[in-house]
Amino acid sequence: MVLIAPSILSADFSCLGKEIVKLNDAGADLIHIDVMDGVFVPNLTFGAPVVKSIRPYSKLPFDVHLMVEKPSILIKDFADAGADFITVHLECKEEIPFLISLIKKEKKKVGLSIKPNTKVSDILPYIPDIDLILVMSVEPGFGGQKFQQEAIKKIADLKELIGRKKVLISVDGGINDVTAPACVYAGADILVAGSYVFKNKPYKKAIEKLKR
C-alpha cells in the first residue's frame, strides 16, 4: 500500500506539535519536513532546532527534504534532531557521493531528489547507494503549486530502472485525490502531500482518500 507523508509546510506553525499529533493519529506514515535555505529555493523554512522540538510528538519517521545549496553543514544537525530520512538534491552545490557518505555516517536513510527539469538518468549512478528517490512534481520552494504531469513518466521509468533493488520512490508537489492515482499506478511508494491534507480537514479523511 502507498505511504502518505504529509508535508508540514502547510501546517499551522503556531501549534506545530499539535499538528504532528493530529497527523500521527490520522494515519500518516511519515512526516515530511521541507527545509529551505532561501538560496537553493527562494523561500526559508525550518532549521534543526524546530525538528528537535517537534520530535517528541510522534514516533513516525521524519522525512527531511533539504532544499539547500550546501547540505553538508546541516546533515549532522538534522540527524541529531531526529531525522530518519535525509534527502538532498542532485542539483545542489556539493558532491553527491560525499553527501551520501555523510548521511550514512549518521546511520540515516539516504534520499536523493530531482527537480522537474532533471533527467532520471542523472540519478542512475547513485541508485545502489540510496534508500529513496524523491521525484519533484513541482519546482521546489512552495506548497500549493500545480502538479506537473511529466513526473508520471519519470516515476514509471525509475520503477523499471530500480528493478528489484529496495529503493523507495516518493513524489512531491501538487498531490491530491486526482493526481495521486496515476503516481501510484506508475510506481510511487510514497506520496508527499501538503496543501491537500491541510486544506481537507479532518486529516484522517484526506489521508484515507489519498491511500485509496
Contacts with ligand DX5, residue ranges (CB under 6 A): 7, 9-10, 32, 34, 65, 138, 140-141, 143-145, 172-175, 192-196
> Which is the catalytic residue, given 29, 37, 63, 172?
172
Whichever of 135 and 167 has its CB closer to ligand DX5, that residue is 135
DSSP string computed for 58-87: --SPEEEEEE-S-THHHHHHHHHHT-SEEE
Q: Which residue has the cell 532561501?
A: 38
Task: Pick between residue 32 and residue 108 the one whose CB is nearest to ligand DX5.
Answer: 32
**Residue 89 binding Zn ion, by CB under 5 A:** no
The answer to whether residues 103 and 110 touch, using CB atoms and an 8 Å cutoff, is yes
Q: At which residue does the C-alpha cell 512552495 appear?
A: 142
State the binding string over 167-186 for Zn ion (x if CB under 5 A, else -): -----x--------------
- Residue 160 or residue 177: which is nearer to ligand DX5 going by CB? 177
The full length of the chain comes to: 212
Catalytic residue among 29, 34, 63, 189: 34
- State the cell numbers at 169: 520512490
Half-sphere exposure (CA, 13 Å, Cβ side) for 26?
26
19 binds Zn ion (CB under 5 A): no
Give the residue numbers annotated as catalytic, written as ranges: 34, 172
